[in-house]
Structure 1
Amino acid sequence: MYKIAVLGDYDSIYGFAALGLDTYPVKNPEEAKETFLRLAEEKAGIIYITEACAAVLKHEIDRYKEQLVPAVIQIPGVNGNTGAGIDGVKKSVEQAVGSDILFGDN
């Protein structure tokens, strides 16, 4: 059975533990990279990752983009929403259905 992991700074992810998800707080980019790669290799089914953390791990996340597992989903952190998470979901939907479902084809 796959696990669901949440990766990011402590303040942004601690609430997910109450939902029963495995949380992995990180303090710096090196720790984030090491933890992300370990989770991906351990076959986490879904990795929720804060947008700030994902920004520094773009190369590592891209390695898993075409694979089914893990699904990497960006979430906003306590420091605000950059819009990267919404953009990622929008691009995935566009690829799956062939058009922009929010704004339609222009």
Structure 2
Amino acid sequence: MVVNGINVTVNGLSHISEQEIASYIDCVEQKTNERVSSLDLSPAENGKVAIEYVLQPQKFERIRRITGYLVGTVDRWNDAKQAEEHERVKHGLH
């Protein structure tokens, strides 16, 4: 099922409402400060609910060390520095 745009799998909890599921989603997002991608709910001991979740991937900017500078992009470099970066030998990962 989909609740608030999030794929939710409910195993063995036939009495659970969409409002309760939305509350679990809110709880996870507040605890992690990140958006939930998917949520699995199942019964746990003592009448509790086991929650397993996957968070949405984080966006990140690539940062490289080029000629002594930590940079994300080289678009603001002058022509000489960009040419120097272009001519460098780039080593691949194995």
The alignment's TM-score, normalised by the length of structure 2, stands at 0.23
Higher percent of residues as strand: 2
* Structure of larger gyration radius: 2
